[in-house]
A and B are shown apart, each in its own frame.
Chain A
């Protein structure tokens, strides 16, 4: 049995850099590569695409990523685990097989399904957002349970080169290969917790390596245009050392690791995943070399009895308009412009927001009371039930050209459909995952 496994984190979201994981696979001596590409709302948007076209609904950049990575993965014997299946892992598997055929590279793909629980939901069930029943949000767009590492184990046991799924807890993408290779029991809570910490550190890829960290003069990170993506060397007990490929940009330090360890953790004593309740408060980090941090000490308690379900719903349309002002008194003119638009739209929208970009748009105020920025951009946003109604916002802002304060320029207007997300809990017994194998060899396709 193995004594150590190296797993790489090759994507932190769907829109992440495409070249960094290629370099990581090429030079990182990886055993596994994980691509985490599903944010909260991504799967609901994918579900909408699938409704329009049953052969779609997976990550829009799946094909690009597989084209770039498959030859290297096969040559180096690296297995890929990813949630790029989004709302349609089976169609995603077909796309991968199609690319393999095109490149004449034999491949075995395991698609893991079962996260889609839209038909299993009880609409009277309370949401985790104030207990309001799900029915309040109908019609629902999507409902996906967060699967755990357990769901991926049969796919890994099948010998597949690529395991593709939809909604799964992000750290579970990393815990599954560890549990598979080291034979961890699902109730081995301390090892599952340590694996979860590894997954949590790697799941945002570049964020461990100085991405989203740098602050010139204060937190210097070299060569961010060539940021290396991270890997972890994990031993059979789940202790790990994280690092990145020599010669790549970025840095891994105690500070970058601390920021990522605590990122989005709502309870450091009880980080909940489908696999375990992990205590991050006992984790210790130690610098063991350049761009190398040793991670130890996570403790685990039993996994939650229920699975979290992320539910997407139509939240109407958001209309936006922007226009810029500059020079002396720019802030006053932008403010006047906002007041004019508010009067014009008076009462039409339940929710209307006026931002002065350059002054108040991020935190509602400029903390130092600095009221004299050289340029200010007015932004008005409102939510509406229809696209047409939402468009009024941008129209009114644009009309400031000839009806508003002096010197307004660069008007832009947008209308976007909005998908909201709420969460609920579902008993594990209501969620059954399964795997489907798709294979292409140089001789014949096996379905």
Chain B
């Protein structure tokens, strides 16, 4: 029987936890709501930290190992906070053959970060996408939320530099 005691305590009084709770409740707090609930955490907090994983495990009454397993299995979820700016380089086939690797090399040489990493000052995260579906614009990069199409290594460094300094 479900009682008030079943409900895990919110990790903090941050209002966003209420949204996480609402998602779980909408699915009857059933174990199958795990991925949907993790989506809500990531959407509201930007990443999944340990307290979030523990909270979700309690909320859906599933082992923490299963929550951790799902959170690390799916590429979309990230356990680390992203930098202030994100630069997503598309590495879909069309972008790959039109020069995406050169963009990644240029960014790594300038900022010292590889895909999936964030600069030590937390300014820039570099990510790759399997395919943005903007193959007509290949190679494509998404800087924060702006799509930059048909872009070369110099232009991408220029735009990233400007984006960070803003």
Determine if chain A interacts with chain B. no
